[in-house]
Amino acid sequence: MNILHCISSPHIGGIERLVIEMAIAQKVAGMEVSIMLDSFEGQYYDYLLLQDIPLFKSGIKGGFDWNPNTYRTLKHTFNRFDIVHLHNFSALRSKAAKDSKARVVHTMHGLSKGIRKENKIKYVIRESLKKHFLNKVDVFIANSRHTLNLAKEHYGLKNISTKVVLNGIRIMDKDLNPKNINNTKFTIGLVSRFTHRKRIDRLIKAFNIFLENGGNGHCILVGDGAAYDTVNTQIKSLGLESHITLAGYSNDVDKYYKQFDVLVHPSDNEGFGLIAVEAYLHGLPVLAFKDSGGLKEVVEPLEPENIVHNEMELVDRLLFYSKHKTKQAENAIKRINYAKANFSIERMEREYYEIYKNLL
């Protein structure tokens, strides 16, 4: 079985990391795996080179690239593979894949409720092309029921095979160490890109109410992004500078997980939410909102009480965990085992293998 995964670049990001780790797992399982990139620029490129996985460059210059030479080259390359697995959308790439001899799988890793906004003409053209080509693939896969429902709402997908394959993560047994409860101050954590859709404002608002209601704790926000200044302004306006640490971006988030007593992910409409799985692998409880999309599908089966409807319910859960720190330790092993059983990269690889096998 010869598979080609197509992603835009080896930049740091949830999709890129996920696809690279899955390709590695598929190679370990005995499949012939290659990766096609639009650009070799990115932090994961050196890591990719170490994996001895063949790399191809697509030649695609942008979302509206229709270069006929690029199309012919792509089609010729795709003909060499049994499966072409697309992980982001390009009309040129999708057409070349459709016209090739390969079977085409498209995985959608997330879809915001409003879809990406462009100027009106570009938006209409892009979404029309996307709807056309997504309805031509052999199998359409979503990383959560939430993502699949949104995709069906926007793109139809009535006459093609659709499936849900939950994301997986590489799990190293040596890293599975529950946080030891100690006498330090109750610590609330967040690990996230700082964008407006991540709704970090909800956590800050709830944390302020938590303190006003007698809660004693500290909050560490790990990450960076376009909304950093907005977050910083909100913290200052509420006078929380001494209670909230803006840690910035970090390549070593494990050291922060070891400081947290609980992780809060306040975003809405997440495609999946690997951050919850990472927290569970550290034995931490995860608090998320009812409108968090795919993230809710990770948290709710294990701890439905940690799905909140609003900031006041989040305050209640924070007060509960701050007063019952031993509750975190009591269920730590349960959380680790849940993540290992349901969200390993090996489980994800096996599910995709069955899909590929059925196509061939």
For residue 252, the model assigns a pLDDT of 86
Quote the CA–CA distance of 302 and 284 in Å, as a whole number.
Answer: 12
Q: Is pLDDT above 80 for 183?
A: no
> Is pLDDT at 174 greater than 60 in this prediction?
no
**How confident is the model over 8-20, as pLDDT tens digits?**
887 766 688 889 9
How confident is residue 325, by pLDDT bands cut at 50, 70 and 90?
confident
pLDDT for the residue 117: 57
- Total Cβ atoms within 10 A of residue 83: 23
pTM of the entire structure? 0.86
Q: Name the least confident of 43-57, 104-118, 231-245, 343-357.
A: 104-118
Identify any residues that bridge with 35 across adjacent strands, giving them in sequence order: 5, 55
Alpha-carbon gap, residue 348 to 272, rounded angstroms:
14
- Outline which parts of the chain fall under CATH 3.40.50.2000: 2-170+344-359, 173-342
Q: Is the dihedral of CA 81, 82, 88, 93 positive or negative?
A: positive
**Separation between Cα atoms, residue 84 and residue 139, nearest integer Å:** 11
User: What is the rounded CA–CA span in Å between residue 215 and residue 272?
Assistant: 30
pLDDT confidence of residue 315: 98
Q: How far apart are the first and last CA of the chain?
A: 9
DSSP classification of residue 197: G
Contact (Cβ atoms closer than 8 angstroms) between residue 278 and residue 257: yes
Q: In this predicted structure, what is the pLDDT of residue 12?
A: 62
Average pLDDT of the residues in 161-189: 78
Sign of CA pseudo-dihedral 155, 156, 158, 162: positive
Say how far apart CA 335 and CA 303 lie, in whole Å: 9
Find the range with the poorest average confidence among 6-10, 175-179, 330-334.
Answer: 175-179
Cα(234)–Cα(205) distance, rounded to whole angstroms?
9
Q: What radius of gyration, in Å, describes the C-alpha atoms of the chain?
A: 21
* pLDDT score for 172: 74
Q: Output the pLDDT for position 72.
A: 97
CATH of 2-170+344-359, one of 3.40.50.2000, 3.10.310.10, 3.30.230.10, 3.40.50.170: 3.40.50.2000
Average confidence (pLDDT) over 294-299: 94
**Per-residue pLDDT tens over the stretch 214-227:** 999 999 999 998 99
Q: Residue range 9-37: average pLDDT?
A: 88
Give the pLDDT confidence of 234-280 residue by residue, as tens digits: 999 999 999 999 999 887 888 999 999 999 999 988 888 888 999 99
Range of weakest confidence among 47-51, 136-140, 159-163, 323-327 = 323-327
- Could you confirm whether domain 173-342 is CATH 3.40.50.2000? yes
The number of beta carbons lying within 10 Å of the beta carbon of residue 304 is: 9
Mean pLDDT of the chain: 91
CA angle 180, 169, 108 (to 5 degrees): 135
Mean pLDDT calculated for residue range 298-326: 95
